[in-house]
Structure 1
Amino acid sequence: MGINRTKRSLINISVSIVSKILVTLLPFTTRTIMIQTIGIEYLGVDSLFASVLNMLSLSELGFSSAIVYTMYKPVAEKEDEKVKGLLCFYKTVYRVIGVIILGVGLILLPNLQWFIAEGTTYPSDINIYIVYLILLVNAAISYFLFSYKSAVLVATMRNDIDSIIDTVRSIISHGLQIVVLLLFREYFLYIIILPIVTVANNIFRAILIDKKYPQYRGKGKLSKEDRKGILTRVGALIGNKLGGVVFTSVDSIVISKYLGLVVLAKYTNYFTIFSAVFAIETTVYSAIQSVVGNSLVSNSKENNFSLFKDIFNITIIISMVCVCCFTILYQPFITVWVGSGNLLGIEIPILLALYYFIKSTRKPLFTFYEAAGLWRADFLKPYVSVIVNLVMNVAMVQIIGLPGVIISSIFALAVIEMPWESIVFFKHCFNVKAFEYGALVLKSVLFCGIAFAITFFVGNFLPYGILGIVLRLMVTLTICAVISLIMLKFTRGGRQAWGRFGLILKRKI
């Protein structure tokens, strides 16, 4: 059974990474063709409404995570009636959420102009209200059409099937959109594809799940205790759900409101690259979360802290490479991709590199944090962080413009979330003081700072263009490799992390 679970995990990891890369590359192609065929202003409208509708997804409140977590045990113990009860409850919850999204979305409809900066315009040949309604239907329709059934694939460790379905959907959706843009150059046809593909995808997924898991078809009952347990978990997850959505969506809304759709479209080009790289890194951490969870319950606190330090030291190297690549490659890549007219100031890549560094070095802590289930221990943290981030966003964008939006996110993560999480986590899980984590962070700042400074200096002497990008990438990887080897060779934590990594490669762990 353990071997089967291990094989299934490896399959899930492999399929998820390949799927993530494919799903990440497709939007680049679509965005490029959109800019070249109908203009960057349409991209700004697209990004704004996507962020507004993403905010409406707050009504989900973490129900999916809570219900999937509750399904693991009954699925493993073949309690089919309980699984059916959970699915029926999930179905009811999702329909309520769908109604809420439609209701709130319609309330916002008359006020769409509020989200767009005064004095700025959007393409004159589109009706933003119809565009918004189409995107609203696309956002809500999944909650009515069998979306809840995906929980079965997650609970039975068949994430690979889910990833393949999502990848095929993305290929079909982006493929049709590209054809429409090239043949018709028509934005309405471009967006109407989204709800059509969503409906077809949900129906196909439901048929496949029903065929593969016939034992979970039909109605079932859920006990009051199970309902209470789900609601308790949801209560603990609400704040973190809020924080995640605000950090990803409010920035775009604030940029559109105060700086306009064109600035938002240009910034979205930069942030798309940022999100793509971070999504791939997140996939790796998601894959090891179950290993971390098992270690927390089966090993001593000392061994767990040792594992944490090893993962963190490897993360330093990943962060170093990504930060240096952002610093030296952002501007030439944007120039080649969408043209020099869509460049932002050099301060934007630098701030995004810093933002990425903070998010990346936080990832090991957050992975252990999630595995330990400490959501209740820092219940107030996400609310404080969201309020500070929102207030700073609105204030600083009016003072220093676009950099203020990124700085506010950096401040909320670095000054509020990371220190708060580290104090709570080390108090509950390790027999060490949080300042030891601070020492690890300082080490990462030192090595990444050195790599950043050298890369930034050398980058000033390197050309743009495709050949320049290749040359810059080679230089970055060389600099990072040398500094990483120094860290691994001359620091105790680095040597230990490299030793564990070697064991993993030899399949001894």
Structure 2
Amino acid sequence: MEKSRMANSIRNILFSFSYQIITILLSFINRSVFIFTLGISYLGISGLFSDILTMLSLADLGFGVALTYSMYKPLADRDYNRLAALTNLYRKVYRIIALAVTIIGLLLVPFLKYLINLKHPIPHITLYYLMYLANTVASYLVIYKTSIITADQKDYILNKYRSYFGILQTLFMTIFLWITHNYFVYLLVQVIFTYIQNFYCSHVASKMYPFINNKIKMPLKDIKEIFKNLYSVFLYKISGVLLNATDNTIISIMIGTGMVGYYSNYSMITARLTGLINTIFYSLTASLGNLVVTEKPERRYKVFLVMQSISSIFSTTCVICLMLLTQDLIRIWLGSSYVLSTYTLCAILLNFYLGIILLPIWVYREATGLYQQTKYVMVITAIINLVLSIYLAKKMGITGVLLASAIARLLTYFWYEPVLLFKKYFDESSLVYFRHIVINIFITIIISRIEMITIGKFVPQNWGTLIFKAIITGITSLSLVLLLYARSGGFKLIMERIKTISIRKKRNLQD
């Protein structure tokens, strides 16, 4: 079982990682064409609409998470009737959700003028918004089928097809925008590819698991139990959306929609890098779900230590590299006029750091379904973030909005979720975890300071010198981090695992 979990996890990571790398490269090309063709105002509109429709995704009430989680046990037990019944239940639910999102989205149209704050109005704004809405609704039509692939630790299959369609979509969007200089055509290509991709992945799920098409009804008592547990997931989800998907809206209303465009260049960089790292961690979610229901607390804790060490290495290395390279990248890529202040960059990186260092906690939360005990703390986090964002936006501008998100996280779930997870699933004290976090923060500050006064003095003037600085920064940062983490418990477990795999491979070759 352990070997199977590892094999599936490795496949998930490799396929997802490859896709993310290609997507990052294409995103930079696409963003460059977008800015120089349409301008910063359209980029601001794009970021604002993305936020609005992310908030609209609340209509699914957390069913995506609940659906995947509810399939872990029946997959482990090979209970195909249960899986078919779950699929049929969620098909009906998601049809209702798709309709609800459409109606709510249309009802928001008259209020768009209060959210958009531009010096020069953009024509056909409503039409562009409706295209974004159509793109969002597409995902709700087939997710009930593809979730079984994710729950069965075979997300690499979906990622393979998503990568194909994603690459083609970005290429065609970029080409058509370059040729037509038309935002509507750009969005139309996006919607078409989204629908094709989703329906094809649904077809793949039906072929792999033909039993999900069987018309089996879920017992009423089980349906009640699912909806009862869903309340916790919904509260967590709505809080998460209010925490993560309101920044652009607040920036647009209080500072200006154009500023959303400037910020989105930075957020694209951190979001793509976060996606790359998330690939490694969230590819393990289904495997952890299987591990949680089959293994003892001691084994769960050892796996967590490995994940914590990996997240620490990534968070420190990436924060240092972003601190030293982001401003240079924006300046050479887009021009000095697109560079935001160092204070704003620090606020962005603080949120990025928290997002990476907490990944092991979040992945275990997804795998264990630990929403019942954490739902209210997320509500508190969202409220603090909203109030602080509005207050600090008046005092500090965009930096204040971003800083509010970090403060809200630190005051609430940053400490609460680890305490709960350790107590419930590891039978260990969470003090060990927090000691590790403090050490990681200290290491990050020390190394970044050293590199700022050495490598940071070098200011690249072109792509060649930027790449050179990036290589030196990356190698130096990673080397120092690995040197300082060489004696940690999690790192030792990683090395032991690598040695075990190497020995096993040698034996297989000898046989």
| CA distance in 2 between partners of 1:487 and 1:2 (Å) | 30
198-207 or 179-188, which moves further after superposition? Answer: 198-207
Q: Is 2:340 the partner of 1:344?
A: yes
Aligned match of 2:361 in 365, 386, 389?
365
Change beyond 3 A, Cα 1:59–1:506: same
What's the CA shift for 1:140?
1.6
Per-residue deviation, 1:447: 0.8
Conservation of the 8 A alpha-carbon contact between 1:42 and 1:122 = no
Tell me, in whole angstroms, the C-alpha distance in 2 between the residues paired with 1:213 and 1:430: 34
Identify if the C-alpha distance between structure 1 residues 487 and 253 changes in structure 2 by more than 3 Å, giving closer, same or farther: same
Moved more, 405-414 or 225-234: 225-234
Deviation at 1:235, TM superposition (A): 1.5
Q: Distance in 1 between matches of 2:42 and 2:181?
A: 11
Q: Which runs of 5+ in 2 are unaligned?
A: 506-511
8 Å contact kept, 1:320–1:448: yes
Secondary structure of 2:215 counterpart: coil
CA contact (8 A) 2:138 2:198 kept: no
2:280 to 271, 281, 284: 284
Question: Among residues 214, 237, 240, which one is paired with 2:236 in the alignment?
Answer: 240
Distance in 2 of aligned mates of 1:460 and 1:393: 31
Q: Deviations over 1:456-477 (max 9, x none)?
A: 2224421222233223223323
**Residues 505 and 257 (structure 1 numbering): CA distance in 2 closer, same or farther, change over 3 Å?**
farther
Q: What is aligned with 1:164?
A: 160
How far residue 400 of structure 1 moved from its aligned partner, in angstroms, is: 0.6
How far apart are 1:190 and its partner, in Å? 1.1
Q: In the TM superposition, what whole-angstrom CA distance separates every residue of 1:410-464 from its partner, at most 9, and x where no partner exists?
A: 1112221111112222332344443332211111111111111112222442122
How do 1:30-429 residues align onto structure 2 when only pairs under 5 Å count? Answer: 30-75=30-75, 77-117=77-117, 120-124=118-122, 126-143=123-140, 145-290=141-286, 292-293=288-289, 301=297, 304-429=300-425
Distance 1:319 1:104 in 2: 38
Distance 1:12 1:416, change over 3 A: same
Distance 1:134 1:342, change over 3 A: same
Conserved in 1, the CA contact under 8 Å of 2:5 and 2:287?
A: no
Contact 2:16 2:279 in 1 (8 A): yes
Higher deviation after alignment, 4-13 or 348-357: 4-13
How far apart in 1 are the matches of 2:377 and 2:361? 15
Separation of aligned partners in 1, 2:229 and 2:242: 20
| Deviation string, structure 1 residues 144-199 (Cα, Å, up to 9, x no partner) | x4342212322444322211222222222222211211111111111122222233
What is the alpha-carbon distance in structure 1 between the residues aligned to residue 494 and residue 275 of structure 2? 24
Distance across 1 between alignment mates of 2:153 and 2:391:
45
- CA shift for structure 1 position 22: 2.5
Partners of 1:430 and 1:3 in 2: how far apart? Answer: 22
Moved more, 20-29 or 268-277: 20-29
Deviation digits for residues 95-141 of structure 1, max 9, x if unmatched?
11112111111111001011123xx33554x2111111121122123
In structure 1, distance between residues paired with 2:357 and 2:262? 27
SS in 1 for 2:381: helix
**Partner Cα separation in structure 1 for residue 365 and residue 78 of structure 2:** 30
What is the distance in 1 between the residues matched to 2:254 and 2:49? 15
Partner of 2:340, secondary structure, is: coil
Q: SS of the residue aligned with 1:469?
A: helix
Whole-angstrom distance in 1 between the partners of 2:220 and 2:440: 48
| Counterpart code for 2:484 | M
Contact 1:41 1:265 in 2 (8 A): yes
Contact (CA 8 Å) 2:381, 2:408: kept in 1 or not?
A: yes
Question: How far apart, in 1, do the equivalents of 2:345 and 2:422 lie?
Answer: 33
CA gap 1:53/1:341 in 2 versus in 1, 3 angstroms:
same
Cα pair distance change 1:470/1:101, threshold 3 Å: same
RMSD over aligned CA atoms reads: 2.6
> Structure 1 residue 360: deviation in Å?
1.6
Q: Find the counterpart in structure 1 of residue 509 from structure 2.
A: none
Provide the identity percentage.
Answer: 26
Say if 1:61 and 1:238, in contact at 8 Å, map to a contact too.
Answer: yes
1:318 positional shift: 1.3
Tell me the secondary structure at the aligned position of residue 377 of structure 1: coil
Distance of 1:301 and 1:76 partners within structure 2: 19
User: Structure 1: how far apart are the matches of 2:205 and 2:300?
Assistant: 38
Residue 315 of structure 1 deviates from its aligned partner by 2.4
| Structure 2 counterpart of 1:378, one-letter code | T
Q: Could you tell me which amino acid in structure 1 is paired with residue 264 of structure 2? A: T
CA contact (8 A) 1:116 1:258 kept: no
Taking the aligned partners of 1:457 and 1:133, their CA distance within structure 2 comes to: 49
Q: Which moved more, 1:423-432 or 1:341-350?
A: 423-432
Matched-pair contact (CA < 8 Å) for 1:15–1:164: yes
- Decide which moves more: 210-219 or 236-245: 210-219
Shift in Å at residue 485 of structure 1?
Answer: 4.3
Distance 1:288 1:40, change over 3 A: same
| Ranges in structure 1 where 5+ consecutive residues have no aligned partner | none
CA shift for structure 1 position 376: 1.2
Q: Rate the CA distance shift 1:31–1:382 in 2: closer, same or farther, 3 A.
A: same
Q: Which moved more, 1:398-407 or 1:296-305?
A: 296-305
Using the TM superposition, name which of 415-424 and 397-406 deviates more.
415-424
Aligned match for 2:457, one of 455, 461, 464: 461
Rounded to whole Å, the distance in 1 between the matches of 2:304 and 2:85 is: 38
Deviation at 1:82, TM superposition (A): 3.2
Pair 1:38–1:384, CA change in 2 (3 A): same
Paired with 1:152 and 1:348, the residues of 2 have a C-alpha distance of 41
In structure 1, give the amino acid aligned to 2:246: V
